Amino acid sequence: MRTFMAKADDIKRKWFIIDAAGKPLGRVATEAAHLLRGKHKPIFTPHVDTGDHIIIINAGSVVLTGDKANKKMYFRHSGYPGGETLINYGTLLKNKPERMMEKAVRGMLPKNRLGEQMYRKLKVYRGNEHPHQAQKPEVWQFGE
């Protein structure tokens, strides 16, 4: 018996919605990364993008456990000497919760072209509204 390797014709992509309201940031991010990679499918192949499209709504209502809101820092660098910017996650959650969620999910994907391809299928929105109704997304329940 030979090992199955997914081809482009075998992949059927779906759209899923994850509601992040009241859930810890890491739990939502791991679930999203799992779906983006396609690990929930029986045709999962490590070197092929078999994942689905993910819409995360209510990113502004995500929970940071412990004292992460004050102690955990978001680092950015402009590329110029002395151009580093540090923002704590409490401020980031208030101002740009989409960026915080995207950064958490991106860190859990492969660091190569395949990871970039998977990351492009992630859509994050601060509130309950999203412009992807035409794709008929299904609601993803945690622990499925």
Q: What is the pLDDT of residues 95-115, one digit of tens each?
A: 999 999 999 999 999 999 999
Joined together, the tokens standing for residue 131 give 């412009």
Put simply, whether the predicted model's pTM sits higher than 0.85 gets the answer yes
| Region for residue 104 given its phi and psi (left: phi exceeds 0; alpha: psi -120 to 50; beta: otherwise) | alpha
Cβ-contact 75, 85 below 8 angstroms: yes
Mean pLDDT of the chain: 94
At residue 143, the pLDDT reads: 66
- Structural domains present in the chain: 14-135 (3.90.1180.10)
